[in-house]
Amino acid sequence: MHPLPEPASLPSLLLSSGGWRPEWGRTRAGGMSRAGGMRPPWNQERAPEERLPSATEPGRQWSMVRRMLTAGLLFSLLLGFSLLLVYIFRSCGPGPCMTPVCWDLLARYLASGNTSVAPCTDFFNFACGQAKGTDYSFQALAEENKKRLRRILEAPGSWHLGSGEEKAFQFYSSCMDTDAIEAAGAAPLRQVIEELGGWRISGNWTSLDFNRTLRLLMSQYGYFPFFRAYLRPRPTPPYTPVIQIDQPEFDVPLKQEKEQKIYAQIVREYLTYLNQLGTLLGGEPNKVQEHAFLSISITSQLFQFLRPLEQRRAQGKLFQMVTIDQLQEMAPAIDWLSCLQATFTPMPLSPSQLLLVHDLEYLKNMSQLVEEQLSIHRDFLQSHMILGLVRTLSPALDSKFQEARRSLIQKLGELTERPPMPARPRWMKCVEETGTFFEPTLATLFVREAFSPSTQSAAMELFTAIKNALVSRLRRIPWMDEKTRKEAQNRVTQLQVKMGAPEWALKPSLARQEYNDVGPCPCQLLISPQLLLSPLTRLSGRQSVHPGRSLTNPFLALIQLGPSYLQSFLSCVRSLRARIVQSFLQSFPYHRWQVSPWGVNAYYSIPDHVVVFPAGLLQPPFFHPGYPRAVNFGAAGSIMAHELLHIFYQLLLPGGCPACDTRALQGALLCLKHHYETIPLPNGTFFNGSRTFLENAADIGGLAIALQAYSKRLLWHRGETILPNLDLSPQQLFFRSYAQVMCREPGTQEPQDPHSPPTLRVHGPLSNTPAFARYFHCPHGALMNPSSRCQLW
C-alpha cells in the first residue's frame, strides 16, 4: 500500500498528471469556479472554460484527505503509546525467577501445597495440604543441615592431621562403625559397672558409699539420677553464671493418671524394658525382676514430688537462691559440696557458694526418699542408679540395647496416643553426637560452606528493613503512651543482632584445636600377613589374635585397636563438660550462643539484649539471596519480626506497662484471644489460646511488620521476581511463603509447645491481615476475611 500524499504535494501531483493548474480560474474569494464542473484531466481538447475545476469538489476532497491523515496520525500515536506501555510493564513488572534455587523452591511448594483447596476457605491446606512427615519445613531444614554436616564429615582427606578436625572425623567414623560396636557387645558397659562397684543382679557387688557412686555418675558419666545440676546465667541482673539445681528429666511418665488402666500398662512396659537391660548385662532373671520393680517404685515416687512449672509460677517460686550449706541442711542425703565440686572442676566452691534452686520442695522430698532407701535397700538404690545410666548410654551401645529402647518408646507412644516417631538413620545420630562434642570444629566448617559473606550481607539487609519497619510501626500503636513508645524505639535501635555463627566459629584456629582431653577414638590397623597370620577379624579391648590360623584375605588383616566406642563417647562427655565450665570461668566479651550454627531456632536473649539468627535457619526454603524478595520477606522476614517482638513480651503481661492505656491494651489482647478461639481446627474443635497468647501476638505482629517492610521495598525498588508457573502475584507469594514456614502435620505438636497448632499459626495471622483478603479476593465473611480484626502491634 502506498502512503497517502502530504497536502503540500497534492498540486504537483495534479500537474504531473495534466490536470488542474494553479493559474486556472480562481474566484476572488479564492475558491474554484462552478462553470461546467470538472472534466477528466486526460480530456485535453475541451474549451478552456470547460476545463476549469469545480469550486466545491476539490475542497471536499482536501477536507476528506486531511481527516484521514489526522485519524491515521492519532491511531499511530495511540498504537505507539500502547506498545510503549506494554514494554514498560513487561520490563518493570514481576518476571519469573529462572535460577536453579527458584526451581527447587517451586518444586517444594508444589509438593507441599494443595491448589484444589480455596485459599480463602483453608489457606493452611492450600499451602501445606500435601506436607507429610519430614515435609514440615523446620524439620526438613534441620535434616538438610545435618546432611550437609554429613557430607563434610565423610569428605575424604579434608582435615588437618593431629587437629580437632581429625578427632571429629575419627569420632564420626567410629560411631558409624556398627560392626565394631556389635562385636564389642555389652563388654564395655560391664567394665563401666565394675568401676562403679558392680550391682547385685550380676552376683558381683561391692557395697560402696552412696555419695561416692553419685559423685562418679555426675562427674565421669554426665548422669544425674535424682536432680540436674548445670551452669547458666542468673535469670535476673547481673546475669552472672551460677550453678542451677533443677528437677531430673524422666523419659517415662510414671505418674498416676486419671486412667488407672493406662498407668498399669505403662508400668508393665517399663518393667519389661528394665528386665531386658538387666538380662543383656548378664543378670540373673529373678534378681533382675526384683531390682527392676523397685527401681520403678523409686522413679514413681520421685515423679510424684514434681510440681508443674505453671504451679510454681503461680506460687511465685520459680527459683530460690540458697548456699550449699543451707541446701545441705534442707536435703542432707546428698553430699552437695563434694558432688558439685567434682562435677564443676576446676570451679572453686565453698559452703557459702550461692546456688539457684528451681524447686526446693522437690529436693527436700527427694532427700528423704534417698535416706529411707539407704536404710533398708542400699543395694537396690545402687541398681536403680546403674539402670538409669544404662538408659542414657544405650545410644552408644550395640543394636540389642537400642532395639529395646525403640520398642519401649513405640509402646509408650501408643499408650499415650502420641504419633509414632519415625526411625532415624544411623548417620543422623552420629552427626548429632559429633556436633555436640566437636561443635567449635564443625561450626567453622559448616559456616564456611553454607553461609558465604554475600548471604550474610543479604540477610543483614533484610533484618535492617524489618527493624526499620518495627520502629516505624511503634509510632502508631494506640495503647502505648509517649514515654513507653520512645523507650520501645530505643530498645529496638540498641538491639544487637548475631547472625550466622558466633565470633569464635569464624576463627580457623578453633576449628583445629587439639581437644587434648579427648581420648583416642577406636582406630583400625592394617597388618600384612607376613607380620600376623590370623583371620580377618575385628578385635576390641583385651581380645587377642589367635595364632596359627590362615588369612581369608591374602593381603591385609583388619584389627580393631584402642578403646571401645563407648569409652570414646564417655571421654567426649567429660571433655565437653570441662570446656563448658572453663568457658564460664573466663570473661566472655560477647553473647554465648544457645544454639549451634547449623540449628534452625532463632531466639532473643533478655540478659544480653541480643537477637540470634543461626546460619542453619537462613537457608532454603526460608532464605536465599537469589529468591524473589516476597519469599525472603514472607518467610525469614516474618521470623525476624517475630523474634524482635519478644523484646516487648513484658509489656503484654498483667501490670507490665502501667503507664499504657490499659483498657486499650486489654481490649486488644481479649480480641486476639477471641480471634483464635473462633478459628476451627481440622477436627472441628476449637483451641484455648490462653497458654499461647504471647506467641500468637508475636505471630500476628511479625507478619504485619514483615508485610509493611516488603511493601516499602516494592515501592522503592524495581526488578521484583516471582516463581515460575505458580500463578501468584508478588503479594500472594509473600503470604504463601509465610505459610510454608508453618507447614507440618497438625498432630505432631508437643504438649508443652508454647505455640498454637500449625493451622492456627497460619489462619490466625493471615485472617487478621486485611491485605490478604484483598490480594486473594476473599468474599466478606469467609474464614480468611472475617468481619472484625484485632490491632495489637
Active-site residues: which are they? 643, 699
Residue 179: in which H helix or E strand, if any?
A: helix 178-184
Q: ∠ CA 621-739-142 to the nearest 5 degrees?
A: 40
Alpha helices in 559-689 (DSSP H): 565-585, 629-632, 638-645, 649-652, 662-677
Q: Residue 5 is placed in which grid cell?
A: 500524499
CA distance 438 to 521: 13
Do residues 177 and 186 lie in contact, with contact meaning Cβ atoms separated by under 8 Å?
Answer: no
CA distance 235 to 245: 13
Tell me, rounded to whole angstroms, the distance of Cα 343 from its chain centroid: 32
Gap between the terminal Cα atoms of the chain: 67
Number of neighbouring beta carbons within 10 Å of residue 18: 12
Q: Residue 548 is placed in which grid cell?
A: 596359627
DSSP letter at 32 equals B
Which sign does the torsion angle of CA 133, 137, 143, 144 carry?
A: positive
Do residues 123 and 759 lie in contact, with contact meaning Cβ atoms separated by under 8 Å?
Answer: no
CA distance 739 to 364: 48
Q: ∠ CA 20-25-28 to the nearest 5 degrees?
A: 130
CA distance 764 to 686: 12
DSSP letter at 9 equals G
Q: Which residues pair with 357 in a beta bridge?
A: 245, 320
Total count of residues recorded for the chain: 793
Q: Residue 8 is placed in which grid cell?
A: 503540500
CB-based contacts of 33: which residues, under 8 Å, 6+ apart?
Answer: 25, 26, 27, 52, 53, 54, 55
Three-state DSSP class for residue 392:
helix
CA distance 63 to 452: 72
Preceding omega of 654 cis (within 30 degrees of 0)? no
Three-state DSSP class for residue 485:
helix
CB-based contacts of 256: which residues, under 8 Å, 6+ apart?
Answer: 263, 304
Place of cell 517492610: 709
Q: Minimal CA–CA distance to 766: which of 696, 700, 678?
A: 700
Q: Minimal CA–CA distance to 229: which of 572, 577, 585?
A: 577
Q: Minimal CA–CA distance to 669: which of 706, 701, 641, 709?
A: 701
CA distance 152 to 158: 8
For residues 280-315, one letter each, b for 16 or more C-beta atoms within 10 angstroms of the residue's C-beta and e for the rest, the string is: bbebeeebbbbbbebbbbbbbebbebbeeeeebeee
Q: Minimal CA–CA distance to 651: which of 701, 705, 576, 610?
A: 701
Do residues 127 and 743 lie in contact, with contact meaning Cβ atoms separated by under 8 Å?
Answer: yes
Residue 303: in which H helix or E strand, if any?
A: helix 285-305
